[in-house]
Amino acid sequence: GSTSEQNAAKALPRATILSFDDYPQAFLALQQGKVVAVTTDETILAGILGKAPNKDQFEIADLRISDEPYGIGLRKDSPKMLKFVNDTLLEMEKNGEAKKIWDKWFNPKSDQPMERGKFKITADRK
Question: Per-residue pLDDT tens for 98-119?
Answer: 999 988 888 777 777 777 776 7
> pLDDT-derived band of residue 36, with 50, 70 and 90 as boundaries?
very high
Q: Is the pLDDT of residue 35 over 70?
A: yes
Three-state DSSP class for residue 42: helix
The whole-angstrom separation of Cα 47 and Cα 67 is 19
Whole-prediction pTM: 0.67
Give 57's contacts (C-beta < 8 A, 6+ positions apart).
Answer: 31
For the chain, give the mean pLDDT.
87
Long-range contacts of 35-39 (CB under 8 A, 24+ apart): 37/61, 39/4, 39/5, 39/7, 39/8, 39/65
Of 45-54, 97-106, 115-124, where does mean pLDDT reach its minimum? 115-124
Domain boundaries along the sequence of the chain:
1-68, 71-126
